[in-house]
Structures are given as C-alpha cells and as structure tokens.
Amino acid sequence: MPNIDDKTLDKLSVLVTRPAHQAERFCRLIENAGGAAIRFPVIAIVAVGDNPELTQQLTQLSQCDIAIFISANAVQYALPQLADRLPTHLKVVAVGNKTAATLRAHSINVSLLPKQGFNTEALLASPLLHAVQGKQIAIIRGVGGRELLAETLSQRGATITYIEVYKRVLPEHTLTALNDCQNCDIIAVTSQQGLRNLVALCNNEKWLFNTALVSNSQRTAELARELGFRNDIVISPEPDDEAMASVITSWWQSKNKTRQQA
C-alpha cells in the first residue's frame, strides 16, 4: 500500500458516509493528504432507549461464558447501562481493532480478536469459538444485522442471546448537502445498510451510480453492483481508516497515471 502524504490525494473529493461521530479521523486522513472530505453520514446511531428487557439481558451477562461485541458502538452503548463491570470469568470477544481498542479503553481484557479479516467469518475460524458446546454466548450489537454468527455458533452447540443496545436510523440532510454530494470523485461506504441508505437519500440519482466507490467488504461491493453502480468499485482489505485511505490513494494514483498516459 502507498504512503499517504500531504499531496497524495491532491484534487480528490471523497464522499464520507460514516456516522458523524465515527467519521472525523477518516476525514482528517483524507484532508491531511490534500484531498477534500465531503461529510454525508447515511446512518445515525442512537440508543434503543429505556427497555426493561435490555436491562435484564445485561444483568444476565453474569450467566454467560462469552460476550461478543460486534462493534465499537456496541461497547459504547452497553457499558453505561451495566450496573457493575463485566463479570471477571467472561471471555470478551471483539470483531475488529476499533472495538478492541474501545474495550481496552475501559480496562476490559479482550480474549479474542481476529488476526486479520475483522469480520464474522474470521471470528468463526478462531479455536475459541469452535469449542462452544454447552456455552452461553451473548452477542452485543445493534438492532438487526447478519445472522451468520449466531446461526453457526448455535450449530456448534452454544446457546445464543442477542443484546441489542443501539439502533441505526436514517439521518436528515439539507438540499445543499445533497447537492454537495454530486461533486465527489469517489464514495466511501462501510456497510450494506449504509449503501442502501445512500441510494435512498440521493433518490436514485443517475450521478450516484456513475461515481466510483470504495467499500470495506466484498459483500458491500457486490451489493453495489446489484444496485446498479457502474464505475470503479475498489475493496479495502481491512475496515480501518488507514486501510480505506490507502486503497483510495492507490486508486487515485492509478487514475492520474492513466490520464497522464492518455
């Protein structure tokens, strides 16, 4: 991957679709490399609100053997609702680096973090989640999402409980913000729901499907093709900010080289 310096992304505009509270570090990477970050969150993260069932589920973590935190949001929205710290016997699993870092920032030991991939498939390949016969496992996440993790662990003999501590909602945008989107060179998307929300917010405008796109997963890239995106679609090997920025840099350098040779 190329190094990102103060000129690497000169004259490039990137539409950043991450939730506002998660986007600034990525935006700074783009801007520090000479690019322009157009902030256009397509998902807003909010707490599920007062919920007696959720309170009871969090209390019952003491009966679980393993707790899997799907995202940094899951950590941030779950921990304030815990009357006490996580039980000391509980093995805590993080899907990705940002989730693990958020747990460690709260002095919580992480028993398992995939060495690479940082997705459900990588998690399921770990020895810890193979030997789960008879185990009680809590999956702490937002409302909805993929079922592969729970289904596979159930097949391996575990009892699964979902603890859903936040939900994703569609943000509102001004007409000016919608118009600004059309000035981008490439769109950065980090989830299938975010991609669907983007299409909805932009009212299926033709410019959207003719714009290049960078995704942090093969699944989201495949969905983009299904929805009708016809320009370049590049995939980051990892979901973190640096990897996404590096992939955009490689794409931009390639485009500039092609222009110079034309």
Q: Does 260 score more than 60 pLDDT? A: yes
Residues 35 and 111 in one domain: no
Q: Which of 137, 168, 199 corresponds to the end of one domain?
A: 168
Q: Would 252 be classed as within a structural domain?
A: yes
Same domain, 135 and 181: no
Of 141, 168, 195, the last residue of a domain is 168
Question: Coil, helix or strand for 123?
Answer: helix
Question: For residue range 147-164, what is the model confidence (pLDDT) as tens digits?
Answer: 999 999 999 999 999 999
DSSP string, 47-90: E--S-HHHHHHHHGGGG-SEEEE-SHHHHHHHGGG-SSPPPTTP
User: For residue 251, is it within any domain?
Assistant: yes
| Structure confidence by residue, pLDDT tens digits, 12-62 | 999 999 999 889 999 999 999 999 999 999 999 999 977 888 888 888 898
**Residue 195 belongs to a domain with what CATH number?**
3.40.50.10090
Contact 135, 51 (CB under 8 A): no
Residue 7 lies in a domain: no
Q: What is the mean pLDDT of residues 164-189?
A: 92
* Residues 98 and 128 occupy one common structural domain: yes
Note whether residue 6 is domain-resident.
no
pLDDT at 139 over 50: yes
Q: What confidence tier does 119 reach under pLDDT thresholds 50, 70, 90? A: confident
Tell me: the pLDDT tens digits for 75-116? Answer: 999 988 886 678 889 999 999 888 999 999 999 999 999 887
Domain identity same for 107 and 79: yes
Total domains in the fold of the chain: 2
For 6, the token pair is 């103060």
Q: Give the Cα-Cα-Cα angle 191, 207, 231 (nearest 5 degrees).
A: 65
Is residue 91, in this structure, part of any structural domain at all?
yes
Residues 223 and 241 in one domain: yes
Q: Do residues 240 and 163 both lie within one domain?
A: no
| 56/70 same-domain check | yes
Q: Does residue 191 have a pLDDT over 60?
A: yes
Q: Among the residues of 130-240, which ranges form H helices?
A: 148-155, 175-181, 192-201, 206-209, 218-227
The answer to whether residue 2 scores a pLDDT higher than 70 is no
- Range of the structural domain that residue 133 is part of: 46-168
In a domain, 179, yes or no: yes
The reply to whether 31 and 82 lie within a common domain is: no
Residue 52 phi, psi (nearest 5) = -55, -35
Q: Please tell me whether residues 142 and 209 are part of one structural domain.
A: no
Does residue 1 fall inside a structural domain? no
Both tokens of residue 123?
């998690």
The CA distance from 158 to 160, in Å, is 6
Specify if 186 maps to a domain. Answer: yes
Domain termination site, one of 152, 168, 184:
168
Q: How many angstroms from the chain centroid is the CA of residue 25?
A: 14
The verdict on 157 and 51 lying in the same domain is: yes
Considering the domain architecture, whether residues 163 and 63 belong to the same structural domain is answered as yes
Structure tokens at 171: 């943000």
Q: Residue 109 and residue 21: Cα distance in Å, rounded? A: 25
pLDDT at res. 5: 60
Do 116 and 188 lie in one domain? The reply is no
